[in-house]
Amino acid sequence: MLGRKDRDHPRSLVQQAVSQKKQNTSVRRIGLLLGPIAFLLIHYGPWTILDDQATGVIAIAIWMVIWWMTEAVSISVTALIPITLMPLFGLAELKSVANSYGHPIVFLFFGGFVMALALEKVQLHRRIALNIIKLTGTTPDRVILGFMLATALLSMWISNTATTVVMLPIAVTVIDLLKNDDDGFTQGDQRFALSLMLGIAFSANVGGLATIIGTPPNTVMIGYLEQQHDMTISFAKWMSFGLPLSMIMLAIIYLFLVKVFYPNRLGSTNDSGDLIQSQLDRLGPVSKLEWQVIAVFAVAIFLWIFRLKLAQLLPGLILSDAGISLLAAFSLFCIPAKWSENSFVLEWKDTQRLPWGILILFGGGLALATALSDANIVQAIGESVSSIPGLSLVMAVAIVSAIVLFMTELMSNVALIAIFCPVIAGIALGMDVNLLYLIIPATIASSCAFMLPMATPPNAIVFASGYIKVHEMARVGVILNVAAIVILILLAQTLIPIIF
């Protein structure tokens, strides 16, 4: 049960989640030493993998994998290994490695981060969430649905961690209504609380699937495709695939939670509706700042969706997804909030809360992928896979998705996709199939971790609330993991070939 302090200060939940995410100190120390030792043994050992360059690149890749898996240092610090060591050991020129850290996809996500900061600064995300919950109704199952829809919608545009932090205190207040009623905290109330908490976490995980900027693995994959395979996936095209997928996953999660695993069978109550309305009243009318942010978001989304059409109508206007993202971010720093005070919607000091480490992580992943490709390691993987008898596309999608999905329960999904993109490219090359049929399901799988509290920040945050036990999350999570793999196999055969 949450104490008063935790309810009033949801950021403390993030701190609890981070502490839970950290691995055993001895494991981290072993990883810290094992990474460079493995690099030295492979790089200077009495063997050669393909050639000297490939051996060196593989040595660096293994060092990065060890540090990413053990979290010996920050995953963003690990992402600096390519730009630090590859030029030092003659594996690549500094200029070419640095290009990966300044890739357009990095700036696409930077713009998305800035837009999310504005959304949070003016409290627009809270208003959106409360209104969605208000619209869905006051029966317990509808309250859960409202929280899930609101969480998924916010997670499309802001980080799933921030989304969960916003939704959790509201959810705790709703649960408190049940705890303080005449019959106390019954078994039905407990099931409602459990479903609500899991629904928020899982919705935050899958909501980001709908857009390119919704979750970092999407951005890593698209950056890899652009850089290594000259394949561009527009914001609109991804959304035409990601939004239906996100809705399908939300529906499955909702049905499993409230109908199969934890049905609450509670009657309707008006208290929750009154609570939501009181929180909306506390926010007051929509402010000028909120309207300004809404306008910037609306223009950015319009440009993302109709970019290609506008390019045909206005040939002199060069629009890209990253350029639109930067334009939106730039505007938020330039739109006056109060003329008299010379203040703006966003000030540069607001970027102190921007997760700069994630941007470095993107660059490190792209740099590693480029090195693996340039050293012909991806081609070697492809040749090895092509020799496997009877490997069908369905089997490959199932194997790759399952490996990524269950590995992401234990390590960063961004780091995992950065490692796996070149490997999956090699598998697709060896099978002589469209790369997208494999790499998209694998990327989606990395965001579908439902089993363990440490798998994703939303899982950890709701677990820290005290309303969920590990076995309760794992019980429904393992089924949802399997369901996700089945859906990804079906998508690889149907929707992905149609859209891409």
Per-residue pLDDT, 4? 32
- pLDDT number for residue 82: 93
The letter for the amino acid at 97 is V
Residue 94 to residue 336: CA distance in whole angstroms: 40
Give residue 206's pLDDT. 92
Give 390-428 as a DSSP string: T--HHHHHHHHHHHHHHHTTTS-HHHHHHHHHHHHHHHH
Q: Minimal CA–CA distance to 159: which of 222, 220, 215? A: 215
Profile the chain (500 residues) by mean pLDDT over runs of 10 residues.
Answer: 37 46 70 93 83 89 86 86 93 90 85 85 82 77 88 86 80 74 69 89 92 88 88 89 92 91 73 73 88 90 84 82 90 87 88 85 83 79 71 86 82 80 86 90 89 78 80 87 90 86
- Beta strand 336-338 pairing with 343-344: antiparallel
Long-range contacts (CB closer than 8 Å, 24 or more residues apart) made by 254-261: 254/144, 254/145, 254/148, 254/199, 256/476, 256/479, 256/480, 256/483, 257/144, 257/195, 257/198, 257/199, 257/202, 257/476, 258/141, 258/144, 258/195, 261/195, 261/475, 261/476, 261/479
- Say what the pLDDT of residue 407 is: 79
Rounded (to 5) percent helix, strand, coil in the chain:
75, 0, 25
CA gap 379, 430 in Å, rounded:
8
pLDDT for 207 equals 92
Confidence at residue 395, expressed as pLDDT on a 0 to 100 scale: 86
Contact 168, 220 (CB under 8 A): no
CA-based R_g, the chain, Å: 23
Does residue 417 contact residue 221 with C-beta atoms inside 8 Å?
Answer: yes
- Give the residue among 481, 389, 375, 474 at the shortest CA–CA distance from 431: 389
- Given a contact cutoff of 8 angstroms between Cβ atoms, the answer to whether 246 and 207 are in contact is yes
- Which amino acid is located at 477 in the chain? G
Q: How far apart are CA 446 and CA 438, in angstroms?
A: 13
Q: How many CB atoms lie within 10 A of CB 51?
A: 10
| Residue at 46: amino acid letter | P
pLDDT of amino acid 492: 84
